[in-house]
């Protein structure tokens, strides 16, 4: 955990001040770990993440988000790995708790500003916004060939965030993910693609009908409903 929150993203970006030998030693130790063990560790962390808010700074949490869900670690990529499908599904489902118990606590200036649009800035709000573009989570649900056993877990994360989170950063992050799902499937002609578009547009409709949100976020949700987001 210390590696992921303190060193991982800096090592990956080449901004660490440590020696190349120290960086290589860390990477060999942690990035080459058995993935069954890694998925177990990640699941345990995601299921009970609230202590992270007190242990690390917001910038460290942002870096760890990029590292864990992005190309730095590729920990959330299960393709070709000998990790049981039920273990994969549990890990993905636990991301919902990561949102509700950690991200929703530290975003929006640690919950003191729920409505301002900070997601276009650097830091934790920007990292959470981009989490469905980092290379890890999106494969669970966005594409026509998403792994069948991960579609419902990935969908459940988005549904939970839109229903439970308070900060605009978390809500716009989920809308970002939903919008990409719609965008990747809206031109498809298969029944599965059509059904996915209907389901995710319905998710946005329910969100807009039940949540009081700032005007900019409501507008973003409307754009996400068409799949017209970047």
Q: Are 76 and 69 in contact (CB under 8 A)?
A: yes
Closest CA to 11 of 30, 36, 33, 39: 30
The DSSP-derived string for 65-119 is HHHHHSTTT-TT--TT----HHHHHHHHHTHHHHIIIIIHHHHHHHHT-SSS--T
| 118 Cβ contact list (under 8 Å, min separation 6) | 107, 108, 109, 125, 126, 168, 169
How far is it, in rounded angstroms, from Cα 143 to Cα 56?
Answer: 34
Does this model's pTM top 0.85? My answer is yes
Q: What is the pLDDT along the chain (230 residues), one digit of tens a residue?
A: 999 999 999 999 999 999 999 999 999 999 998 989 999 999 999 999 999 999 999 999 999 999 999 999 989 887 767 889 999 999 999 999 999 999 999 999 988 888 888 787 889 999 999 999 998 899 899 888 888 999 999 999 999 999 999 999 999 999 999 999 999 999 888 898 899 999 999 999 999 999 999 999 999 999 999 998 88
How far is it, in rounded angstroms, from Cα 68 to Cα 66?
Answer: 6
- When computed from its CA atoms, the radius of gyration of the chain, rounded to whole angstroms, is 17
| 12 Cβ contact list (under 8 Å, min separation 6) | 67, 71, 72, 73
How far is it, in rounded angstroms, from Cα 182 to Cα 187?
Answer: 9
Q: Are 161 and 173 in contact (CB under 8 A)?
A: yes
Q: Are 91 and 38 in contact (CB under 8 A)?
A: no
DSSP state of 23: H
């Amino acid at each position: 955990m210390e590696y992921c929150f303190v060193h991982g993203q800096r090592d990956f970006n080449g901004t660490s001040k440590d020696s190349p030998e120290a960086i290589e030693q860390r990477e060999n130790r942690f990035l080459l770990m058995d993935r069954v063990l890694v998925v177990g560790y990640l699941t345990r962390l995601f299921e009970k993440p609230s202590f992270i808010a007190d242990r690390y700074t917001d910038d460290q949490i942002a870096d760890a988000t990029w590292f864990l869900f992005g190309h730095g670690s590729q920990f959330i990529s299960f393709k070709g790995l000998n990790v049981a499908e039920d273990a994969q599904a549990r890990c993905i489902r636990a991301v919902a708790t990561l949102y509700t118990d950690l991200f929703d606590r530290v975003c929006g200036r640690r919950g003191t500003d729920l409505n301002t649009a900070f997601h276009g800035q650097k830091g934790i709000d920007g990292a959470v916004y981009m989490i469905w573009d980092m290379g890890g989570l999106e494969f669970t649900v966005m594409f026509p060939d998403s792994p069948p056993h991960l579609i419902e877990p990935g969908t459940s994360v988005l549904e939970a965030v839109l229903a439970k989170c308070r900060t605009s950063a978390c809500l716009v992050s989920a809308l970002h993910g939903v919008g990409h799902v719609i965008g990747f499937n809206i031109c498809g002609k298969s029944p599965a693609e059509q059904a996915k578009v209907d389901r995710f547009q319905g998710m946005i409709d329910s969100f807009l009908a039940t949540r009081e949100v700032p005007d900019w976020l409501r507008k973003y949700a409307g754009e996400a409903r068409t799949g017209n987001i970047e």
